[in-house]
Structure 1
Amino acid sequence: MATPVVTKTAWKLQEIVAHASNVSSLVLGKASGRLLATGGDDCRVNLWSINKPNCIMSLTGHTSPVESVRLNTPEELIVAGSQSGSIRVWDLEAAKILRTLMGHKANICSLDFHPYGEFVASGSQDTNIKLWDIRRKGCVFRYRGHSQAVRCLRFSPDGKWLASAADDHTVKLWDLTAGKMMSEFPGHTGPVNVVEFHPNEYLLASGSSDRTIRFWDLEKFQVVSCIEGEPGPVRSVLFNPDGCCLYSGCQDSLRVYGWEPERCFDVVLVNWGKVADLAICNDQLIGVAFSQSNVSSYVVDLTRVTRTGTVAQDPVQDSQPLAQQSPHPSVPLRRIYERPSTTCSKPQRVKRNSESERRSPSSEDDRDERESRAEIQNAEDYTEIFQPKNSISRTPPRRSEPFPAPPEDDTTTAKEAVKPSTAMDVQFPAPNPEALPQPLVTTSTPAPKGDPAIIPATRNEPIGLKASDFLPAVKVPQQAELVDEDAMSQIRKGHDTMCVVLTSRHKNLDTVRAVWTTGDVKTSVDSAVAISDLSVVVDLLNILNQKASLWKLDLCTTVLPQIEKLLQSKYESYVQTGCTSLKLILQRFLPLITDILAAPPSVGVDITREERLHKCRLCYKQLKSISGLVKSKSGLSGRHGSAFRELHLLMASLD
C-alpha cells in the first residue's frame, strides 16, 4: 500500500535578484496576494508576479532611493515615495506615470491608498502626514501632531479615518472629514512600526519595536489587550479576512493571536528572517522578505494552522484561560464598519487644520512626468495580469490555484518550480552619480541542489543596464538584434567603467574616513574638498547636518564654496544637502558674523579676535556670493523653490 504524502505547513517558494542594488522597500498586493512591488536604491520600482522569475514592469523617474511603495486595492495603481520626499503614482494598466506629488521635506516612510476615493496618504520623516488628491495633483490636508518620523499609515475600511504610527511611540487616529485628530493611543514604549484595522469591527492593532502588539477599541478609544513577549520588533501584522485572528510575522516564525482575551493560537516556524509584508490568498499566507538585492517569498498553509478555539502552547507567552473567551465568538463585540456603495465624497476643507498646496502644473512637474516611465519588461505576464482599461474584465492571477507544497521528505524546496538558466548572466548596477558605492553583483550560477535558489535576471529584466544603453541613438528602420558576443562586449565596456568609478569613490571615502577617526572634523572636510569629488562632500555634509554641534566658524569657510557648487548641481539630492547645510550655517553663524563685523575696532592687539574677524569677513564674502544664486532660484516652483525662498529670507540681513 502506498504511503500517503505528508505536506509541509510552511515552505520557501523562491528567491529572486530584484534590483541592481539594495532593495529598500517592498509590498504585496492584498487583493491577489500574487503581485509584488519592490523599490530599490537604484531608484526603480519593479513589479513581479509571485513564483515567476521575470520582472513584469519597471518604473523609473525617481532620482533618489525608493523608501516606500504601496498598491491600491484593485492593484491598478502604485505609489512610490523616495528618499528626497517626492511621490510618484503610476497607472499599471495603462503603463504610464499618472502623477508627481511634491511637498514633503524628507524621506517618505509610509503610504496608503484610500479604499474608495482617489486619494493617497503619505507619512514622512519630516513628521507630517499629507492627504493628496490624485485627480487634481494637490495636497488636500496636512496633519500635524507626531514629533518623529511617521512609519505606517492605514485608512479604515469605511474610508472615514486614517491611523498613523510613528517613532514617537504613539498611534493617532485622524478624522478625514473634519481634518483633525480624533484620538491618540499612548502605551507603547518604543517606535510603532505598523498599524492595521480589523476588516469588520471598530478595532485597531499596532505593533512596535518594544516587542508588543496592542489592540485598541475605536468606540471607547481605549486599549483592549496587549500581546507581550514577541521575539523581536513587530514590523508586519495582518488580520485574517474574516477577522477571527491576527497574524504576526516574527523573526523566523508566524504567530497567530486572539485579543479577547490575549492569547496565542499557534506558532509556525518559517525561516524567513525579518519578514517585510504579508498577504492571504486561497487559504495560504504569503510572506516576503528582502536582504541586500535579493527578495524571498514564503508560503504558510493556513488550513494546517490553528486560528481559533484551542490555544497553542507558546513557549514565550502564557495563554489565559479559555473560559474568558466570548461565549459567541462569531458575534461581533463592537460596531461594524459601514462601507459606502459609491465613491466617497471629497473631504471638506477646514482652514485651521489644513494646508492647501494646490497649484497649477508647473514646467518642473511636467518634466518629472516626462522623465518618469513604466517599461513593460515581460509582455506575456503583463497581459495576464493587467488587461487594457476597455476590456470587459481583468484576468489577474488572483483566482489561480494555491501554491503546491513540496513533500515533507523532499530535500529540495519549491525552488525547483522555476529552475535558473544554465547560461551565465552578468549583472551589474546602473551608473548613478548620486549613489554610494554598492557591492557589485557578480556572475551567478545555478545553486547546488538543496540550497536556496537564486533566480538570475534574464535579459528582459530591468536589472543593470541593457546593451542599447551603450549604443548611439541612430534611427534605423529595423534595428537588428545584437548577437550575444556583441551584446556582451558592449555590456563589459560599461561594466569596467562603472567598476573604475565605484573603486575610485570607495578609495576616496576610505581616505576621508581614516581622517575622521582621528576626531578632527575640519581636517576631514579639508580632505574631502581636496579630493574634488562632490559625492564625497555630500556624504560628509549629510553626517554633519545631523549634528549641529560639530559645526565651527572655520568649518564654514571651507564648506561654503562647496555649498555654492551643490546648489547649482543637476542632482536633486545634492541641491537638498546644500540647502540644508546653508540653512544650518545661516541660523547658527549669521547673527555672530554680522555682530562681529559691526562691532567697533578693539584697542591694542588681540590675535584671537583678529583671527575671528578674518574668518567672519571671509564667510560674509562667500555668503554674499551665494545670495545672488539663492535669489535667482527663489522663484522656482516646487519643493526646491520653497527651500530657496526660505534661504533668501534668512539672508536678508546680508543686505
Structure 2
Amino acid sequence: MATPVVTKTAWKLQEIVAHASNVSSLVLGKASGRLLATGGDDCRVNLWSINKPNCIMSLTGHTSPVESVRLNTPEELIVAGSQSGSIRVWDLEAAKILRTLMGHKANICSLDFHPYGEFVASGSQDTNIKLWDIRRKGCVFRYRGHSQAVRCLRFSPDGKWLASAADDHTVKLWDLTAGKMMSEFPGHTGPVNVVEFHPNEYLLASGSSDRTIRFWDLEKFQVVSCIEGEPGPVRSVLFNPDGCCLYSGCQDSLRVYGWEPERCFDVVLVNWGKVADLAICNDQLIGVAFSQSNVSSYVVDLTRVTRTGTVAQDSIQDSRPLAQQLPQPSAPLRRIYERPSTTCSKPQRVKQNSESERRSPSSEDDRDERESRAEIQNAEDYNEIFQPKNSISRTPPRRSEPFPAPPEDDLATAKEAKPSPAINSQFPVPNVEVLPRPPVVASPPPPKAEPAIIPATRNEPIGLKASDFLPAVKIPQQAELVDEDAMSQIRKGHDTMCVVLTSRHRNLDTVRAVWTTGDIKTSVDSAVAINDLSVVVDLLNIVNQKASLWKLDLCTTVLPQIEKLLQSKYESYVQTGCTSLKLILQRFLPLITDILAAPPSVGVDISREERLHKCRLCYKQLKGISSLVKSKSGLSGRHGSAFRELHLLMASLD
C-alpha cells in the first residue's frame, strides 16, 4: 500500500532579482495576495505577479531612492514616497502617472490609501503626517504631534480614523473629521514599527522594536493585553480576515496570537528571515522579504495552523481540513465599525480647464508628472491582471487557485518544523461576527461645477474640509485665521532661527580662518572645540571628498564626533558619519590591527611609540562605536544597508 504524501505547512515560493540596486521597500496587494510592488534605490517602482519571474510594469519618475510604497484596496492605484520627500501616484490600469505630491521635507516612511475616498496619508521622517486629496494635488490636513519619524499609517475600516506609529515609542489615533488627535497610546519602550486595525471590532494592534505586541481598546482607549518575548523587533502583523487571531511575521517564523487573554496559538517555522509584508488569500498566508536586490516570497497553509484556543478533538481521524473544524463565530465583544453603504471609484480625471487644475506649463510638479512614466514590461501578465477600462470589474490572477505545496520529503525546500506551544484551553478566544461586505454601487458622475478652492502654495493645505471624504459626516464650522494671526504663526520661531544661523556663520568663519593656514588637524580641533555638530558635519563633508587629507591623528579627533553623528536624529548627520567611518575603516583599520599585533620593539623609538599610542586610542574608540553600528544594522532602507556594511568592515575588531 502506497504511503500518502504529506504536504508542508510552509514553503518558499520563489526568489527574484527585483531591482538593479538594493530593494528599499515592498508591499503586497491585500485583496488578491498576488500582486507585489517593490521600491528600490534605483528610484524605480516595479510591479510583479507572485510566483512569476517577470516584471509586469516599471514606474519611473522619482529622482531619489523609493522609501515607501502602498497599493489601494482594489489594486488599481499605487503610491510611492521617496527619500527626498516627494510622493507619486500611478494609475495601474491606465499605465500612467496620476499625481505628483510635494511638501514633505524628508524621507517618506509610510503611506496608506483611504478605504473609500480618493485620499492618501503620508508619514515622514520630518515627523509630520499629511492627508492628500489625489484629485486636486492638495494637502487637506497636516497632523503634528510625533517627535520622531512616522513609521506606519493605517486608516480604520470605516475611514473615520487614522492610526500612526513612530520612532518616539508612541501610537496616536487621529480623528479625520475633526482634524485632531483623539488619543495617544504610550507603553512601548522602543520605536513602534507597525499598527493594524481589527477588521471588525474597535481594536488596534501595534508592534515595536521592544519585541512586544500591544492591543488597544478604541472605546476605552486603554491597553487590552501585551504579548512579550518576540524573537526580534516586530515589523509586520496582520489580523485574520474574520478577526479571530493576529499573525506576526517574526524572524524565520510565523506566530499566531490571541489577546483576551494574551496567548500563542501556534508557531510555524519559515525561513524567510525578516519578513516585510503579509497578505492572506484562499486560506494561504503570503509573506515577502527582501535582501539587497533580491525579493523572496513564502507561503503558509493556514488550514494546517491553529488559529483559536479550541483544538480539534481528533484531527487525525477527522478528514475535514482544520479550517472547517473551527467553532462557529459568535457575537463580538466590542463595537463594530459602521462602513458606508457605497464605495468610491478611483479618482475622476479633472478637466484641465477647471480651477483646481489650472497650472503653469512650466511648474515643477507638472514637469515631474511629464517625466514620470509607467513602462509595461510584460504585456501578457499585464493584460491578465489589469483588464481594459471598460470592464465591469477586475479579477486578480488565479485568485481561486491556492499555491501548490511541495512534498514534505522534498530536500530542496527549506527544513521546517511546527512546535506545539502550550494553549490555555480554559480561555478560548471569542469569535467575532463576520460582517457582509457592503454592496458595490456605481458612483454618480461628478458634478460639472468644481467646488471653490482657496488658492495656496503646493506645500500648504489647500483648504478642503475633512468631511469631503467621509460619507454623511457633519462637523462644526471652523474659524478661519485672520491675517494678524497668520502672520504671527509665520513669524513664530523666526528670530530664534536667525540667531542660530548667525552663530553658525560665525563659527564657520572661525574654522575657515584656520583652514587657510593648511593645518587640517587644527581646523578639525577648532570645529570640535566650538561644540556645534553642524559645523563638524560641514567640515567632514569637505574632508571626505579627499582621502589623502586623512591622517591617524585626525582619526583620534574625529571618531568621538562620528559616534555623536551616528546617533543624531538628522538624516544628513547620520549619512556624513557613515561616510567618514567607512573611509577610516578602509584606510586605517588594517594598519591599526597590524601595529597592535606586532611584537614590541627593542630600544627607544619615539615616533613608533606615538603611532602605537594613536592606534590604541583609535582601536578603543572604534570598539565603542562597533556596538552602536551593530544595533543599527537591523534598520531597513539605505541607512540599514550602510550600517550593515560598516558592521562587516568592523568584524576584524573582534
TM-score bracket relative to the smaller structure: 0.5 to 0.7
How much has 1:391 moved relative to structure 2? 1.8
- Structure-2 change in CA distance of 1:177 and 1:531 (3 Å): closer
Q: What is residue 257 of structure 1 aligned with on the other side?
A: 257
Bigger shift: 543-552 or 18-27? 543-552
- Structure-2 change in CA distance of 1:59 and 1:121 (3 Å): same
Task: Tell me if structure 2 keeps the 8 A contact 1:78–1:92.
Answer: yes
Deviations 1:332-353 (A, max 9, x none): 0100001102257999999999
Task: Tell me if structure 1 keeps the 8 A contact 2:263–2:423.
Answer: no
- Structure-2 change in CA distance of 1:430 and 1:266 (3 Å): closer
Task: Tell me if structure 1 keeps the 8 A contact 2:271–2:414.
Answer: no
How much has 1:494 moved relative to structure 2? 50
Deviations 1:174-225 (A, max 9, x none): 0001000000000000000000000000000000000000000000000000
Task: Tell me if structure 2 keeps the 8 A contact 1:142–1:354.
Answer: no
Task: Tell me if structure 2 keeps the 8 A contact 1:31–1:74.
Answer: yes
Task: Tell me if structure 2 keeps the 8 A contact 1:467–1:490.
Answer: no
The correspondence of residues 417-436 of structure 1 with structure 2, limited to 5 A, is none
Q: What is the alpha-carbon distance in structure 1 between the residues aligned to residue 234 and residue 363 of structure 2?
A: 43
Q: What is the alpha-carbon distance in structure 1 between the residues aligned to residue 142 and residue 489 of structure 2?
A: 49
Q: What is residue 415 of structure 2 aligned with on the other side?
A: 415
- Structure-2 change in CA distance of 1:100 and 1:255 (3 Å): same
Task: Tell me if structure 1 keeps the 8 A contact 2:343–2:440.
Answer: no
- Structure-2 change in CA distance of 1:628 and 1:615 (3 Å): same
Deviations 1:540-569 (A, max 9, x none): 867999999999999999999999999999
- Classify the secondary structure of the residue corresponding to 1:416: coil
Bigger shift: 539-548 or 261-270? 539-548
How much has 1:269 moved relative to structure 2? 0.4
How much has 1:400 moved relative to structure 2? 3.6
- Structure-2 change in CA distance of 1:513 and 1:112 (3 Å): farther
Indicate yes or no: 2:454 matched with 1:445. Answer: no
- Classify the secondary structure of the residue corresponding to 2:420: coil
Deviations 1:40-93 (A, max 9, x none): 000000000000000000000001000000000000000000000000000000
- Structure-2 change in CA distance of 1:131 and 1:597 (3 Å): farther
Deviations 1:368-418 (A, max 9, x none): 01110000000000000011211233232152400000000122349999x
Bigger shift: 473-482 or 318-327? 473-482
In structure 2, runs of 5+ residues without a counterpart are: none
Q: What is the alpha-carbon distance in structure 2 between the residues aligned to residue 478 and residue 220 of structure 1?
A: 28
Task: Tell me if structure 1 keeps the 8 A contact 2:332–2:433.
Answer: no
- Structure-2 change in CA distance of 1:188 and 1:155 (3 Å): same
Q: What is residue 540 of structure 1 aligned with on the other side?
A: 539
- Structure-2 change in CA distance of 1:444 and 1:633 (3 Å): same
- Structure-2 change in CA distance of 1:421 and 1:326 (3 Å): closer
- Structure-2 change in CA distance of 1:93 and 1:327 (3 Å): closer
How much has 1:317 moved relative to structure 2? 30
Q: What is the alpha-carbon distance in structure 2 between the residues aligned to residue 413 and residue 651 of structure 1?
A: 34
Bigger shift: 553-562 or 439-448? 439-448
- Structure-2 change in CA distance of 1:69 and 1:609 (3 Å): same
Q: What is the alpha-carbon distance in structure 1 between the residues aligned to residue 92 and residue 260 of structure 2?
A: 41
Bigger shift: 45-54 or 383-392? 383-392
- Structure-2 change in CA distance of 1:48 and 1:314 (3 Å): farther
Q: What is the alpha-carbon distance in structure 2 between the residues aligned to residue 612 and residue 117 of structure 1?
A: 67
Q: What is residue 574 of structure 1 aligned with on the other side?
A: 573
Task: Tell me if structure 1 keeps the 8 A contact 2:134–2:347.
Answer: no
Deviations 1:2-30 (A, max 9, x none): 21110000000000000000000000000
In structure 1, runs of 5+ residues without a counterpart are: none
Task: Tell me if structure 1 keeps the 8 A contact 2:108–2:122.
Answer: yes
Task: Tell me if structure 2 keeps the 8 A contact 1:17–1:457.
Answer: no
Task: Tell me if structure 2 keeps the 8 A contact 1:427–1:463.
Answer: no
Task: Tell me if structure 2 keeps the 8 A contact 1:127–1:146.
Answer: yes
Q: Let me know the Cα RMSD of the aligned residues.
A: 22.6
Q: What is residue 171 of structure 2 aligned with on the other side?
A: 171
- Structure-2 change in CA distance of 1:9 and 1:322 (3 Å): closer
- Structure-2 change in CA distance of 1:36 and 1:518 (3 Å): farther
Bigger shift: 96-105 or 604-613? 604-613
How much has 1:173 moved relative to structure 2? 0.2
- Structure-2 change in CA distance of 1:518 and 1:91 (3 Å): farther
Bigger shift: 6-15 or 580-589? 580-589
Task: Tell me if structure 2 keeps the 8 A contact 1:431–1:498.
Answer: no
Q: What is the alpha-carbon distance in structure 2 between the residues aligned to residue 457 and residue 409 of structure 1?
A: 65
Task: Tell me if structure 2 keeps the 8 A contact 1:378–1:460.
Answer: no
How much has 1:330 moved relative to structure 2? 2.3
Identity %: 95
Task: Tell me if structure 2 keeps the 8 A contact 1:444–1:456.
Answer: no
Q: What is residue 196 of structure 1 aligned with on the other side?
A: 196
Q: What is the alpha-carbon distance in structure 2 between the residues aligned to residue 456 and residue 362 of structure 1?
A: 18
Bigger shift: 83-92 or 514-523? 514-523
- Structure-2 change in CA distance of 1:16 and 1:410 (3 Å): same
How much has 1:572 moved relative to structure 2? 16
- Structure-2 change in CA distance of 1:81 and 1:238 (3 Å): same
Task: Tell me if structure 1 keeps the 8 A contact 2:142–2:461.
Answer: no
How much has 1:576 moved relative to structure 2? 13
Task: Tell me if structure 2 keeps the 8 A contact 1:467–1:491.
Answer: no
Give the count of matched residue pairs.
Answer: 654
Bigger shift: 16-25 or 398-407? 398-407
Task: Tell me if structure 1 keeps the 8 A contact 2:138–2:458.
Answer: no
- Structure-2 change in CA distance of 1:318 and 1:470 (3 Å): closer
Bigger shift: 344-353 or 150-159? 344-353
Task: Tell me if structure 2 keeps the 8 A contact 1:27–1:71.
Answer: yes
Task: Tell me if structure 2 keeps the 8 A contact 1:17–1:454.
Answer: no
- Structure-2 change in CA distance of 1:202 and 1:574 (3 Å): closer
Deviations 1:95-132 (A, max 9, x none): 00000000000000000000000000000000000000
Task: Tell me if structure 1 keeps the 8 A contact 2:67–2:637.
Answer: no
How much has 1:265 moved relative to structure 2? 0.3
How much has 1:322 moved relative to structure 2? 20
Q: What is the alpha-carbon distance in structure 2 between the residues aligned to residue 416 and residue 448 of structure 1?
A: 58
Deviations 1:123-163 (A, max 9, x none): 00000000000000010000000000000000000000000
Q: What is the alpha-carbon distance in structure 1 between the residues aligned to residue 426 and residue 256 of structure 2?
A: 40
Q: What is the alpha-carbon distance in structure 1 between the residues aligned to residue 507 and residue 434 of structure 2?
A: 14
Task: Tell me if structure 1 keeps the 8 A contact 2:261–2:429.
Answer: no
How much has 1:467 moved relative to structure 2? 49
Task: Tell me if structure 1 keeps the 8 A contact 2:312–2:322.
Answer: no
Task: Tell me if structure 2 keeps the 8 A contact 1:163–1:195.
Answer: yes
**If the length of structure 2 is used for normalisation, what is the TM-score?**
0.62
Q: What is the alpha-carbon distance in structure 2 between the residues aligned to residue 409 and residue 582 of structure 1?
A: 48
Bigger shift: 536-545 or 502-511? 502-511
- Structure-2 change in CA distance of 1:391 and 1:482 (3 Å): farther
Q: What is the alpha-carbon distance in structure 1 between the residues aligned to residue 616 and residue 362 of structure 2?
A: 39
Task: Tell me if structure 2 keeps the 8 A contact 1:14–1:415.
Answer: no
- Classify the secondary structure of the residue corresponding to 1:309: coil
Q: What is the alpha-carbon distance in structure 2 between the residues aligned to residue 426 and residue 364 of structure 1?
A: 62
Q: What is residue 146 of structure 1 aligned with on the other side?
A: 146
How much has 1:459 moved relative to structure 2? 40
- Structure-2 change in CA distance of 1:3 and 1:530 (3 Å): farther
Indicate yes or no: 2:483 matched with 1:471. Answer: no
- Classify the secondary structure of the residue corresponding to 2:398: helix
Task: Tell me if structure 2 keeps the 8 A contact 1:405–1:414.
Answer: no
Task: Tell me if structure 2 keeps the 8 A contact 1:264–1:312.
Answer: no
- Classify the secondary structure of the residue corresponding to 1:89: strand
- Structure-2 change in CA distance of 1:53 and 1:424 (3 Å): farther
Bigger shift: 511-520 or 180-189? 511-520
Task: Tell me if structure 1 keeps the 8 A contact 2:246–2:258.
Answer: yes
- Structure-2 change in CA distance of 1:453 and 1:263 (3 Å): farther
- Structure-2 change in CA distance of 1:143 and 1:641 (3 Å): farther
- Classify the secondary structure of the residue corresponding to 2:582: helix
How much has 1:480 moved relative to structure 2? 66
Indicate yes or no: 2:382 matched with 1:388. Answer: no
Q: What is the alpha-carbon distance in structure 2 between the residues aligned to residue 448 and residue 350 of structure 1?
A: 11
Deviations 1:594-624 (A, max 9, x none): 9999999999999999999999999999999
Q: What is the alpha-carbon distance in structure 1 between the residues aligned to residue 653 and residue 2 of structure 2?
A: 90
Q: What is the alpha-carbon distance in structure 1 between the residues aligned to residue 502 and residue 427 of structure 2?
A: 14
